[in-house]
Amino acid sequence: MILWAVVLPGNAQVSFTSAINLALQNSPRVKIAENDVQRAQAALAVTKDIFIPSVLAAGGVGYSHGITLTVPTIFTVNAQSLVFSPSQRFYIRSAQMDLRAALLTLADTREQVEEDTVITYLSLDRAQDTVAALKEEYGFASKLVSIAQDRLHAGVENELDLKKSRRAAVQTELNELQAEDSLRFLQERLGDLIGLPGNGLKTVADSIPSPPSIDASRVSYNLHRPDTPIVLSAEANAEAKQQRASGDSHYTWMPQVTFSAQYGRVSPVNNVSQFYNLNGNYNTAFAGIQIQLPLLDKVRSAAARESIADASRAAHQLQVLQDEQRENRLKLQHSIVELVTKSELAELDQGIAQDELKTITIGLKSGSGGRSMTPEDEQNAHIRERQRYLDLLDAKLEVFKANVSMLRQTGQFGAWLQSLTQAPPIISGTQNARPE
């Protein structure tokens, strides 16, 4: 997918899918996980390359007097490698499992970054709507104060009613200031995630997909889905430590076979021929294998006990993660049902508030109704409608976030994001048109 951007200071927009892609590209957490994978790959290569002879060449010349304890050489070439070791097989398997754990941790980290970006993007979009709605509500509250002042001057209302109206307006103003602070924080947060300046960063409402469809009545089915990447990574890590413990335990009384070879050129300047019968041959070479049988090694025995304890701890940690995963899925199962119900209730409340507003507006224009409608009634109806609208925004956001969490817990998050990649990315500097 090709990302294009025209970022204008203080008025930049980024689409939903583009934000996710940019976050993956720029996330330090993803880069750290990728470094861990590279390190695990190198560690696996080390366990295998030990069977490839390492070659070392060395040379030098110097003065000697009398017979030398070792034959002086001009230069030597040494080669050495491991041929057979029961422990090394376990170390190779351990390194392979470490690599698998690193790959799974990378997958989980990518999902964490994607989920953080999704939640932050949705929260920012909701914050934009909230600020706009609170500005409208403050306008209605200000009109209500003006009406109360006029009615006070006319002797229709008392000072208490005016104070109540002013308090409602000040409370709305405070809510607006808090919403703007939250908006700026979310802009900076999203900017940090995607690697763009956060100042003035805005969402593209049309790019946000519909919430993932999760049937609340069948959520229990999802509880039996495969483990999450972080749990699978812990499982691989536990297996790696178990293999390492087995390798440390199979050192004593187990034969080890090594290969070694050497070639050297005997020094002709140290009068070696006076003490050794070289027969004019200054070349020396050796190649062979060596078999070792460790009989007693307290250091290795202590290291084996340490590895066994480490493997046992990893196994217990895996059990903890599996229990937490099961608990999280159960909590989400119940919370989704409740949040969906709250969202339906908020939608009904907002619909009722809209209908009441329409009724009052029509009554004011026509002068009909069971009692006379006043401009004060109209402003109060506007305020109630905006408050119910804010409640609806909160409820829908919570449902969306719970569904995203459930997708992650059940291993479907990646597939859902993949289904969204067909949409073209949008990063522009144009003003975002907010839906009514």
Residue 435 lies in a domain: no
Any domain includes 110? yes
Tokens read off for 102: 């690193």
Conformational region of residue 414, where left means phi above 0, alpha means psi within -120 to 50, and beta covers everything else? alpha
User: Does pTM surpass 0.85?
Assistant: no
pLDDT of residue 204: 92
Render pLDDT for 80-106 as a digit per residue (tens, 0 to 9): 999 999 999 999 999 999 999 999 999
> What is residue 428's predicted lDDT score, i.e. its pLDDT?
45
Question: 8 in a domain, yes or no?
Answer: no
Question: pLDDT band at 37, cuts 50/70/90?
Answer: very high
Phi, psi of 394 (to 5 degrees): -60, -45
> The tokens of 251 are what?
């050192």
Q: How many CB atoms lie within 10 A of CB 55?
A: 11
pLDDT at 340: 85
Give the pLDDT of residue 337.
83
N-term to C-term CA, the chain: 31
Task: Give the number of other CB atoms < 10 A from CB of residue 431.
Answer: 9
Count of domains for the chain:
1
How many distinct helices (H) and strands (E) make up the chain? 8, 7
Lowest mean pLDDT across 270-279, 315-324, 347-356: 270-279
- Give every CB contact of residue 159 below 8 A, 6+ residues apart in sequence: 152
- CA atoms of 336 and 416, how far apart (whole Å): 18
Tokens of 298: 């307290």
> What is the pLDDT, as a whole number, of residue 173?
94
Rounded-to-integer distance, Cα 151 and Cα 173, Å? 23
Residue 3: pLDDT over 50? no
Using one digit for the tens of pLDDT, what is the confidence trace for 353-368? Answer: 888 888 888 877 776 5
What is the domain-level CATH number for residue 175? 1.20.1600.10
pLDDT of amino acid 177: 95
Tell whether 434 is covered by a domain: no
Of 2-6, 35-39, 105-109, 167-171, the range with the lowest mean pLDDT is 2-6
Instruction: Determine the pLDDT at residue 431.
Output: 37
Q: At what angle do helices 298-366 and 375-409 cross, to 10 degrees?
A: 150
User: Which of 196, 162, 179 has its CA nearest to residue 8?
Assistant: 196
User: Which of 202-216, 227-241, 264-278, 329-343 ranks highest by mean pLDDT?
Assistant: 227-241
Q: What is the pLDDT of residue 268?
A: 80
Confidence tier at 282 by pLDDT (50, 70, 90): confident
Q: Do the domain assignments include residue 25?
A: yes
Residues of the chain with pLDDT > 90: what percent? 51
207, 196, 117: which is closest to 432 by C-alpha? 207
What single-letter amino acid sits at 292? Q
Look over the chain and give the mean of its residue pLDDT values, rounded to a whole number: 85
Give rounded-to-5 percent helix, strand, coil for the chain.
65, 10, 25
Q: How far apart are CA 136 and CA 123, in angstroms?
A: 20
Give the whole-angstrom CA distance, residue 110 versus residue 21.
Answer: 10
Whether residue 364 contacts residue 373, with contact meaning beta carbons closer than 8 Å, is answered with: yes
Residue 5 lies in a domain: no
Tell whether the torsion through CA atoms of 121, 123, 126 and 127 is positive or negative.
negative
Confidence of residue 68 (pLDDT cuts 50, 70, 90): confident
Q: Is residue 6 part of a domain?
A: no
| Positive or negative torsion for Cα 165, 167, 172, 173 | positive
Q: Is the pLDDT of residue 4 over 50?
A: no
Tell me, yes or no, whether 159 lies in a domain.
Answer: yes
Q: Would you say residue 429 has pLDDT above 80? A: no
Q: Which of 117-131, 351-365, 378-392 has the lowest mean pLDDT?
A: 351-365
Question: For residue 11, is pLDDT > 60?
Answer: yes
**188-245 pLDDT per residue, tens:** 999 999 998 888 899 999 999 988 776 555 555 455 667 889 999 999 999 999 999 9
Percent of the chain past pLDDT 70, that is, above it, reads 89
Range of the domain at 392: 13-428
36 pLDDT tier (thresholds 50, 70, 90): very high
* C-beta of residue 151 within 8 angstroms of C-beta of residue 157: yes
The residue count of the chain comes to 436
CA angle 79, 82, 87 (to 5 degrees): 160
Buried b (16+ CB within 10 A) or exposed e, 113-135: bbbbbbbbbbbbbbbbbbbebbe
Q: Which pLDDT belongs to residue 6?
A: 40
Q: Give the span between the Cα atoms of 77 and 56, in whole angstroms.
A: 6
In angstroms, the CA 5 to CA 196 distance is 10
Q: Is the pLDDT of residue 412 over 60?
A: yes
- Pick the range with the lowest mean pLDDT from 3-17, 397-411, 418-432: 418-432
